[in-house]
Amino acid sequence: MKTAKKLGLAVAVATLGMGMSAASMAEEVNIGFSGPLSGGAALYGENVLSGLRMAAEEINANGGFDINGEMHTVNVVALDDQYSPAQAATNAKRLIQESEAPAIFIPHSGGIFALMDFNVEDDFLIMAYTSVPTITAQGNPLTLRIPPTFDGYVKAFTDYAIEEYGTKLAMGGATHEYAKIWGSMIEKAWEAKGGEVVAKNPMDYNKSADFFTGVSKLLAEDPDVMFVGGASEPTGLVIQQARQLGYEGAFIMMDQAKIDEAAVAAGGLEPLENTVGVVPLSTDESEAAQSFIKRYEEKYGKTPGSEAAYNYLAMHALVEAMDMTDSTDPKTIRAAMNDAIAQMDSSKNPYAVEEIDEAGGFVTMPTMSVVKDGKIMEVTF
Amino acid sequence: MTIFLQQVFNGLTLGSIYGLVALGLTLVYGILHIPNFAHGALYMVGAFISYFFMVDIGAHYWVAMAGAAVVVAVLGVVCERLVFHPLRNAPPIHDKIAAIGILLFLEALVHMVWGSDFRRMASPFGGVVNLDGVFLREQGILIIASTVVLVVALNLFLRKTMVGATIIAMAQNREGAFLVGIDANRVAMMTFAISGALAAIAATLYAPLNLVYPAMGHLVIMKAFVIIILGGMGSIPGAIVGGMIIGFAEAFGGYYISTAYKDVIAFALLVVILSIRPQGLFAKGAH
């Protein structure tokens, strides 16, 4: 019992010490992050965070950034929300009160919507990593959307697939909110193009032990194209199992899943033949992208995905804006973001984002790629 | 007909895995009265150990499975010695809290060592047999066959050997077992070892159809608890039959109704069965 008390005291002292040391370093600007860092989606959250950390370390290695003549460093304060919007809101409150973070990165739409309820009142910037179009349609003045919205993909993927592969579509997407919105938009676009939705059987990608049953139900209707998508890895499994069940048609892959990552789970690119999806970062030939991939691989020992790259460039843009305006005030930063993006060195901008639109969306060209003869080919549209 | 047979096969595959996991859980509960929430974590560790043996050391699939079974059996015994044994006279709630503690500890540990990446573990049985339109995955056939073998072997062990008889004796009557001189420590360790080995084997059998990642135990552990409640806490045939019921409910419900409702169907079955037999299908009496 005595040891337990002593231990408790030691922990208390250590925590206090940590708190004091954080407060005494005034030359540091905290940037918040709330995302899944444990549980089934931990990998996604970690990938986002890795991009943010990498940008912060690059900035700090160069001596930080300048606010009114004083050099400041960036510190990423990361809290785990396990994908829960309620926990994300609690985390945001902690990040603004304890760490005085002027901006919070958050990589899931549920949490973003929760934070948008109070971010103007509490005065902090939401760095939203989601492609749900309604995020920027709400007119929240302190929200920035980092990736492109998915409505561009929906149209491009539908047009391509219906012309190349046939008119019968089976819906085998995941059941979370994001996938449902995507799915319903695909259905609408498909039918508007004159196609037919022959089967609908959404599956819980995160809680299903097996997809054999769900996929066989879709295949019973003999579709030409199957809509799939959730996280990359279970999406790869769905594709693999469809092939095992003798499916020879094409796939439309929701943008949450990446072709290269899904291929790892499916055991190679071969099962993914005729899959239409977004261009994976690893096949982006541009110099900025390649330079980022190289630096990321050196640091983390694995190939980065788009979530690392987008958040990396957003962090650089955010700091650039603080540096330009000599301010950490969220409104001032938001106003300067467009100029900051334009001024930013291309090595910090792997997706070549050129500007930020009125509503706060980063403007990136939507891209599309198709797996053909075992290779990922970029398709222009 | 082909569709029906396809779902029978899918249901058998899923039911076998659920049954194997539930079997380990029900053994520990029936004999030691510990609801081992950490069982899903043992399952997950089993998959990672197999992955380690196969990918990092390059061992054969069967060797990796045996290795994982041994490692997780030892891990189970360590949990029993370090955690559950010291709590044997504590109120039952302490066991539950300790089990959740082990669950969190093991998940965090695996997360620290292997990270949160999804890993693919390919078995040598990756092919698909096409039987006149019914697609049988070789790994699925292996799962069903292995489950039959394991259940028969476990039954023989419990019924025909002296050591097995001591375990049964403990399950039937603790005090009586002590009176005739059965070593409770040995039985406890043995039970945890068998339970751990079953979890590791189930994980190694199933991992090639799915992926290996730290949260993989969550998928099966909730279902395993449902199964042992359904089949009757502590009942071995109950675990197998319960596993099959849930597996078939998922396969047939998922196909003929909707995949979105497959859990609803499984849990509705649970409610119906429990309202007819509150003690579960095979339990002799309520604990």
Contacts for A179 with CB less than 8 Å, ≥ 6 apart = A173, A202, A205, A229, A230, A254, A256
How far is residue B240's CA from residue B224's CA, in Å, rounded to a whole number?
Answer: 10
- Residue A14 scores a pLDDT above 60: no
pLDDT tens digits, one per residue of A300-341: 998 999 999 999 999 999 999 999 999 999 999 999 999 999
Q: What is the domain extent for residue A267?
A: 166-273
How far is residue A179's CA from residue A255's CA, in Å, rounded to a whole number?
Answer: 10
Task: Indicate if A218 and A112 belong to the same structural domain.
Answer: no
User: Best interface-test mutation with B: which of A80, A211, A244 has the largest number of B CBs within 10 A?
Assistant: A244
pLDDT tens digits, one per residue of A50-64: 999 999 999 999 999
Boundary (domain end) residue, out of A219, A250, A273? A273
Confidence of residue A7 (pLDDT cuts 50, 70, 90): low
> Is the sign of the CA dihedral A248, A193, A253, A172 positive or negative?
negative
Q: Which of B128, B254, B260 sits opposite A213 (nearest CB)?
A: B254
Place of tokens 């549980």: A39
Residue B228 lies in a domain: no
Chain A contact present for B234, CB below 8 A? no
Residue B121 lies in a domain: yes
Within 70-99 of B, beta carbons closer than 8 Å to A belong to: none
Task: Indicate if A170 and A305 belong to the same structural domain.
Answer: no
Strands A103-106 and A125-128: parallel
Q: Which of B6, B206, B218 sits opposite A216 (nearest CB)?
A: B6
Strands A28-35 and A70-80: parallel
How many CA atoms does the CB half-sphere of B165 hold within 13 Å? 5
Task: Indicate if A116 and A24 belong to the same structural domain.
Answer: yes
Task: Indicate if A181 and A301 belong to the same structural domain.
Answer: no
Q: Which of A38, A204, A213 sits opposite B7 (nearest CB)?
A: A213
How far is residue B28's CA from residue B221's CA, in Å, rounded to a whole number?
Answer: 14
| Partners of residue A73 on adjacent β-strands | A28
Per the CB < 8 Å rule, is A233 touching B118?
Answer: yes
Taking the CA of residue A220 and the nearest CA in chain B, the distance in Å comes to 8
Q: Which of A40, A204, A208 sits opposite B215 (nearest CB)?
A: A40
Task: Indicate if A114 and A22 belong to the same structural domain.
Answer: yes
A135 neighbors A108 (Cβ within 8 angstroms): no
User: Best interface-test mutation with B: which of A213, A235, A241, A300 has the largest number of B CBs within 10 A?
Assistant: A213
Number of domains in chain B: 1
pLDDT tens digits, one per residue of A160-204: 999 999 999 999 999 888 888 899 999 999 999 999 999 999 998
Confidence of residue A380 (pLDDT cuts 50, 70, 90): confident
φ and ψ of A184, to 5 deg: -70, -30
All residues of chain A having their beta carbon less than 8 Å from the beta carbon of residue B130 are 246
The H or E element that residue A377 is part of is strand A375-379
Confidence of residue A4 (pLDDT cuts 50, 70, 90): low
Please give the pLDDT value at position A3. 52
Task: Indicate if A199 and A262 belong to the same structural domain.
Answer: yes
Residue A100 lies in a domain: yes
Within 105-144 of B, beta carbons closer than 8 Å to A belong to: 107, 111, 115-118, 120, 122, 126, 128, 130, 135, 137
**Residue B163 is encoded by which pair of tokens?**
């050591």
Within 288-327 of A, beta carbons closer than 8 Å to B belong to: 302
How far is residue B41's CA from residue B49's CA, in Å, rounded to a whole number?
Answer: 12
Place of tokens 């047979």: B5
Residue A25 CB neighbours (<10 A)? 10
* CA B89 remoteness from chain centre: 26
A112 neighbors A133 (Cβ within 8 angstroms): no
- Residue A2 scores a pLDDT above 70: no
Chain B contact present for A208, CB below 8 A? yes
Q: Using only C-alpha atoms, what is the Rg of chain A?
A: 22
How far is residue A151's CA from residue A366's CA, in Å, rounded to a whole number?
Answer: 10
**Residue B197 is encoded by which pair of tokens?**
């080995």
Looking at residue A277, the DSSP 8-state letter turns out to be E
Q: Which of B116, B254, B259 sits opposite A42 (nearest CB)?
A: B116
Per the CB < 8 Å rule, is B259 touching A39?
Answer: no
All residues of chain B having their beta carbon less than 8 Å from the beta carbon of residue A265 are 118, 120, 211
Taking the CA of residue B262 and the nearest CA in chain A, the distance in Å comes to 10
pLDDT tens digits, one per residue of B231-265: 988 888 999 999 999 999 999 988 888 877 888 88
Q: What is the domain extent for residue B84?
A: 25-220
Number of domains in chain A: 2
Place of tokens 């190289």: A294
Q: Which of A42, A214, A246 sits opposite B135 (nearest CB)?
A: A246
Mean model confidence pLDDT for chain A:
89
User: Best interface-test mutation with A: which of B103, B107, B120, B246 has the largest number of A CBs within 10 A?
Assistant: B120
Please give the pLDDT value at position B278. 86
Confidence of residue B41 (pLDDT cuts 50, 70, 90): very high
All residues of chain B having their beta carbon less than 8 Å from the beta carbon of residue A234 are 211
Boundary (domain end) residue, out of A273, A298, A320? A273
- Residue A290 scores a pLDDT above 70: yes
Residue A61 lies in a domain: yes
User: In the A/B pair of chains, how many CB contacts fall below 8 A?
Assistant: 87
Instruction: Mean pLDDT check: name the lowest of A170-179, A256-265, B185-194, B276-285.
Output: B276-285
Residue B281 lies in a domain: no
The dihedral formed by the CA atoms of B272, B273, B279 and B285, expressed in degrees to the nearest 10: 140
Chain A contact present for B247, CB below 8 A? no
How far is residue A128's CA from residue A136's CA, in Å, rounded to a whole number?
Answer: 9
Please give the pLDDT value at position A367. 82
pLDDT tens digits, one per residue of B86-120: 998 899 999 999 999 999 999 999 999 998 888 88
Residue B12 lies in a domain: no
CATH number at residue A248: 3.40.50.2300
How far is residue A147's CA from residue A133's CA, in Å, rounded to a whole number?
Answer: 10
Chain B contact present for A42, CB below 8 A? yes
Per the CB < 8 Å rule, is B116 touching A217?
Answer: no
Chain B contact present for A203, CB below 8 A? yes
Would you list the DSSP string of A68-122? TTEEEEEEEEEEE-TT-HHHHHHHHHHHHHHS--SEEEE--HHHHHHHHTTHHHH
Residue B274 lies in a domain: no
Residue A158 lies in a domain: no
